[in-house]
Amino acid sequence: MVRHGLDMIDHGASNDRLAALMRAAQAGDAGAYVQLLQDVTARLRRIVGRQRQFLAAEDVEDLVQDILLSLHAARATYNPRRPFMPWLLAIVKNRLADGARRYARGPAREVHVEDLDVTFLAEMTNTVTEVGDPEALRQAIEALPAGQREAIEMLKLREMSLKEAAAASGTSVGALKVATHRAMAALRNKLTS
């Protein structure tokens, strides 16, 4: 009983601290916002992991990222005079339900294709491509502007999907496509000149 009471006090203090951090974040305090997001991220990993035990770690992390972006986008809806956790948990519940719908729709939209070897008779498809100078490629990538370099690293080197890369970099899918297109054109120019 005493232990339960202490937990309640601890929980209340934690909620007050998060509410204070959120109020400061709404006022534009970046330091408070970092603290809030770090604290919330750890809690979200626990909550999502517990509620979605069947998901792989990376899928849990995807959901956590979705919730963080939603929290950020909806931060004006937080009433500073109300407790923080019910507000956050309502977003979590909603985003988890959205995630479950996406998860359920996923297999229905996938088409299973048998993994057959496919070969073509054309000569160019059976010719080993000449491998360029990897060091020159590395230097050319490093010389790209930051946004283009980041797009190439995420999409081409780390083979992230457009959606993952957009979430990680904070840019839109369209902007990533443009950056990748420009980066590829710049690399082609540089390496063929």
Partner 1 sequence: MTADTNRILERLAAGVEPVRPLATPWRRAAAWCGVSLAYVGAVAVTMSVRRDVISTLSDSGFVVEQMAALLTGVAAATAALATTIPGYSRKILLLPLLPLAVWLGNVGQSCVQDWMAIGPQNWAIAEHWPCLVVTIVAGALPSVAMVLMLRRGAPLTPGLTLALGGLAAGALGHFGSRLVHPLDASVVVLVWHIGTVLGLCLLARLAGRHFLTWRSLVQAAD
Q: Which residues bind partner 1 (CB under 8 A)?
A: 25-30, 33-34, 37-38, 41, 57-58, 61-62, 64-66, 68-70, 72-80, 82, 86-91, 94-95, 98, 164, 167-170, 172
- CB nearer to partner 1: pick between 25 and 151: 25
3-class secondary-structure state, position 167: helix
Q: C-alpha angle with apex 162: 156 to 163, nearest 5 degrees?
A: 145
- CB nearer to partner 1: pick between 103 and 137: 103
Smallest gap from Cβ 148 to partner 1, in A, equals: 17
Smallest gap from Cβ 53 to partner 1, in A, equals: 17
Q: If DSSP states are collapsed to H, E and C, what string results for 30-94?
A: HHHHHHHHHHHHHHHHHHHHHHCCCCCHHHHHHHHHHHHHHHHHCHHHCCCCCCHHHHHHHHHHH
Smallest gap from Cβ 159 to partner 1, in A, equals: 14
